[in-house]
Amino acid sequence: MEKNTNNPSEIDINSIIKPYLSKWYWFVVFLFLAIFLAIVYIKTAVTVYHVQSAVLIKDAKKSIGGAGGMGVLEGLSGFGGMSTNSIENELEVFKTKKLARDVASINHLQTTLLSNSFFTKKELFGDTSPIIVHIINEKKNKEFPKKPFTVSFEKGKVNLKSEEFNFNKTVEYGRSVSLPFANIIITKNKAFDREKAKEINKELELSFSSLESAASDIQKLIQVDLADKDGTIISLGVNYPETDKAKTILKSLVDSYNKDAIVDKNSESHKTKEFIDDRIDKISGELGNVESEKERFKTDHKITDLMTEAKINLESSADAKKKQLELDAQLELTNDLISYLNKQNTNQLLPVNVGLESQESNTDIAAYNKMVLDRNRLLENATPQNPLVQDISQQINSMKRSVSESLQKNKLALQLALNEYVSEQSKIGDRITKIPHQEKLFRSLERQQQIKENLYLLLLQKREETAISLAVVAPKARVVEPAYIADKPVAPKKMIILLVSMILGVLIPFVLIYLKELINTKISSKDDLKSLTAIPVVAEIPAIRKNVDHVIKHNDFSQLAESFRILTTNIGFMLPKIDNGKVIFVTSSIKGEGKTFVSMNLALSLSYSNERVVIIGADIRNPQLQRYNNGKNPGKGLSEFLYDKNTTLDEITFKNPVNNKCDIIYSGTIPPNPTELLKNGRLSALLDDLRLKYDYIIVDTAPLLLVTDTFTFVNYADLKLYVTRSNFTDKKLIDFANDSVESGKLDNVAFVLNDVTKQNFGYGNKYGYGYNNK
């Protein structure tokens, strides 16, 4: 006997794991089944391989603005066309649907040919496919089939059949076939390798998909990533069962990428060439205009070379200045001589060798001075009135006038020459003054000419480079690692599948048991009962199979007999120490919990201990004791005794059909007023009489929750055994028992848990002990 403290703070690990341990075979079965299914899946699943390739994206970046001014238009030639590329952009280009669409279209990937094997389907592609299906065009607004066509071969022809489209037609190779959704042509595959294809069914499955759908599928297959974050090598991969198809996809992907890159590059080069040609024509005209302006400038200003002209003008200016100074000196000297000539007397000498450059004047002055000297010599010997003197005086006067005239002529000549030199000097000065402005204008023209010439030469160079770029085309992506198959398949992953299956094999029964326990509202074990009440549990009665006798026998060592011996022992501690017989009520909450079964076997167990025992069927509404007498009611029972005062105890007392050492009082006839009969006092008198005659009076009462019959005489009992049934009694019904005890309706109560399965037994009962225990 155990009393439950009903302490919710205590965690019973044993009670938590008990449901799982009791159903250990679930784990074994599910684990075995999961591993079996995993092995079957591994054997039948299509093996998927990883096919990988690597390409190097050429980085042709060039610096802008190179030396010599030739890098200004570096990108125009097309060689620098990749200078704006980034490796991240190229990664995204490989993922585009446009490339996937090109791959699908070029390699006829809108169709899939399958050959069925025992458990799997084998895809036929490349040299393993006997035919090639070309989709000429898709029909507008038509849906592609969801189910595959059936393909069979008949005498050099192909039969196509589809239940979905109700289509059945035999077609010739190379002829156009109109399907509800597209026009196709079927051709023989000249590269077909029968040895490599191995066994192929006579009927094949042919699946169709639209170009967009096929491109989307290829997009999902392609894996693009950087081999090294600091490099420009891109790793391409495809996970697919058919390795030849995977290799074809990767190769076509790179080819389509290079083709698009070349088209883009050539398009850029063509545009560049057009631009350069246009600029060359325009700059050629501008250069001719500059040359014409330069020629016109020289013509207008009458110069051949500006620097030479400037040098000549400066030299001419210097010579003219020097000559002007000389003329100024001669003119000044001539004026002085004229003034001197006019001031002196006739007979005075004139200065000679004063620097006068006029030969005529110098000659006249010399002649004049000679005459004066001659006259002076004559005057030394003669008088002024001497005819010779007078004659020479006249000659002197005449010569003086000649000298004066000569000097005047020289003066006039010098003045004219001086004026001419001053005019020339002025002209030269004007030309020298204009030289800076002319030089500025000329330099501007030369600068324009130089710029035009440099640009013209640059464009000619770029035109040649562009022509070379158009003539020589190199792929943008260079394959550095041709497509190859990884050493191990990527699917199915055998170890992971086995591990997951083992985890599921353990997890599924665990979850099922957990959910079962979670939604289970029934009492299963003594631990469940102890967790719900503080009322002691005095016994666990094992579950009995249908083909086993439900009553215990004399010298019975079965588990059932042992459990009732435990019950009789435990109730001995709860019964009062009195000399008269002890009254034990056996009741329950509802019908079907086994109170009659417990009552009968408790009575038999006590009787086998040489105790005087009588069992009373007090459930007069639903009598059950007669089922132990083959369902027969031998005569009067409790109902008759309670109703008829003349009925004696001996009239209702019979021998127990199972053990004649145990007496039995049946319920009798079912009365219309059972509650009134039980309250009329006759039952109390009957129990008092039985106390004197028997050691134990076992009373099989009516369920407490359904009727109030038992509560009317419950105080007559020394002990109340409250029967519950494993996996039958709802946990909420225990609240009724608890409330009845707490309210004082029941006292000295003990629970009996009936129909307990072996795995739910408490530790005291599951092992068994006896000679016949196995």
3-state secondary structure 83-116: CCCCHHHHHHHHCCHHHHHHHHHHCCCCEEEEEE
One-letter identity of residue 196: K
- The whole-chain average pLDDT of the chain stands at 82
User: Higher-confidence residue: 412 or 301?
Assistant: 412
Angstrom distance (rounded) from CA 747 to CA 585: 11
The span from the CA of 308 to the CA of 322, in Å, is 21
Which of 322-336, 552-566, 744-758 has the weakest average pLDDT? 322-336
- pLDDT tens string 488-516: 899 888 999 999 999 999 999 999 988 98
Reading the block at residue 295, the tokens are: 């020629």
**Cα 462–Cα 464–Cα 467 angle in degrees, nearest 5:** 110
- The one-letter code for the residue type at 541 is I
- Which of the 8 DSSP states describes residue 730? B
Give the pLDDT score at 483: 92
What percent of the chain is modeled with pLDDT above 70?
A: 85
pLDDT score at 432: 65
pLDDT digits (tens, 9 = 90+) for 133-156: 999 999 998 899 999 999 999 888
pLDDT attached to residue 301: 63
Q: What is the second-level CATH architecture of the domain 526-760?
A: 3-Layer(aba) Sandwich (3.40)
The whole-number average pLDDT for the span 611-628 is 88
- The architecture of the domain spanning 306-471 is Orthogonal Bundle (1.10)
- Would you tell me how many other CB atoms lie within 10 Å of the CB of residue 193? 13
Alpha-carbon separation of residue 630 from 482, 604, 627, 657, 658 (angstroms) = 90, 17, 5, 9, 11
**243-301 vs 87-94: helix axis angle to the nearest 10?**
130
Q: Does residue 634 surpass a pLDDT of 60?
A: yes
The span from the CA of 297 to the CA of 189, in Å, is: 80
pLDDT in tens, 682-735: 888 888 899 999 999 999 988 988 888 888 888 888 999 999 999 899 989 999
User: What are the φ and ψ backbone dihedral angles of 526, each rounded to 5 degrees?
Assistant: -65, -30
What is the mean pLDDT of the segment spanning 269-281? 79
CA dist., res. 728 & res. 722, Å (int): 14
Q: What is the pLDDT of residues 48-68, one digit of tens each?
A: 999 999 999 886 343 333 433
Q: Domain ranges in the chain?
A: 13-45+494-519, 51-266, 306-471, 526-760
Higher pLDDT, 315 or 80: 315
Q: What digits encode the pLDDT tens for the residues 121-133? A: 889 999 999 999 9
Residue 649's pLDDT band (boundaries 50, 70, 90)? confident
Residue 697: its pLDDT value, please? Answer: 92
For 285-296, write each residue's pLDDT tens digit.
777 777 777 677
Dihedral sign for Cα atoms in the order 94, 96, 100, 102: negative
- C-alpha closest to that of 216 among 110, 142, 143: 110
CA distance 591 to 706: 8
Region 759-768 average pLDDT: 60
Q: How far is it, in rounded angstroms, from Cα 187 to Cα 130?
A: 9
Question: pTM for this structure?
Answer: 0.56
Choice among 64-78, 513-527, 536-550, 754-768 with the minimum mean pLDDT: 64-78
Give the closest residue to 59 by CA, choosing from 34, 90, 24, 101: 90
Nearest by Cα to 461 from 748, 747, 10, 73: 73
Residue of higher predicted confidence among 709 and 355 = 709
- Rounded to 5 degrees, what are φ and ψ at 223? -115, 125
Q: Please give the average per-residue pLDDT across 558-576, as a whole number.
A: 89
Q: How large is the average pLDDT for residues 35-52?
A: 91
Q: Looking at residue 181, what is its pLDDT? A: 93
Residue whose entry in the numeric block shows the structure tokens 């004063």: 354
Q: What is the pLDDT of residues 171-201, one digit of tens each?
A: 999 889 999 999 999 999 999 998 888 888 8
